[in-house]
Structure 1
């Protein structure tokens, strides 16, 4: 019984360590398929498919993603054609080009970035809904 607990603790430590690791897709590399990981991704090559991680995605100036992105945070400098879902902050640098649909908690866009997308902000819908309820409650009280 004690050995199982030690093994469980070790695997949790290993997973925490793995989630801090960064995966790098170098310039000149093309991947046709889906990528999924716990750690962050630095992408300077081209990916045609889905990229999903619990970490951060950094897309370099020459990086291209044609497909869906799901992550915690993202810093984009390259080209993205597809849907993007970022739980926390999506940052578009001046050289970024985004085409598709975006769902994010926070959005930061530098001047010069091309943002040809529909965008839904996660937190804004909830707060507006709560404000309306408070206003109605205030009038009836």
Structure 2
């Protein structure tokens, strides 16, 4: 008789704010966070944040990585990488380790890099 092995899988935990959802207030997340809705408040995330194409955040963001497709009005403090996609609009200051800006991205603010 064949033995059956127990298979344990773990999926990455992701938080999702769906399109059409609006939140007023500060948010904290331990894992990656995809935002497709609207947030009026500060966002703190120990993982990566993806700001979807039709999303809007009004408030400051602290995270490890961020990829912006939508609109952010506020300052960003990012431990690692910031990516501004062509459809993004960012009005605020950025502090990060590295940055990528695609042609067409709109950025109104200042940018400073962490010293090694």
TM-score normalised per structure 2: 0.88
Find the aligned partners of 1:34 and 1:23 in 2 and give their Cα distance: 15
Distance 2:48 2:13 in 1: 11
Q: Which runs of 4+ in 1 moved over 6 A?
A: none
RCO higher in structure (CA 8 A, sep ≥6): 2
Could you tell me which of 23, 30, 34 is aligned with 2:26?
Answer: 34
2:16 aligned residue: 24
Compute the RMSD of aligned alpha carbons.
Answer: 1.3
Give the alignment of 1:1-141 within 5 angstroms: 20-123=12-115, 126=116
The structure with the largest alpha-carbon Rg is 1
Query: CA separation in 2, counterparts of 1:31 and 1:58?
Result: 16
Q: TM (normalized to structure 1)?
A: 0.73
- Hey, what's the Cα distance between the residues in 2 that align with 1:41 and 1:94? 20
Q: How many residues align?
A: 107
Task: Please identify which structure carries the higher strand content.
Answer: 2
Q: CA deviation digits over 1:71-92, x for unaligned, max 9?
A: 0000000000001001000000
Unaligned segments of structure 2, at least 5 residues = 1-9
Deviations along 1:2-22, one digit per CA (max 9) or x if unpaired, are xxxxxxxxxxxxxxx79x411
CA shift, 1:101, in A, is 1.1
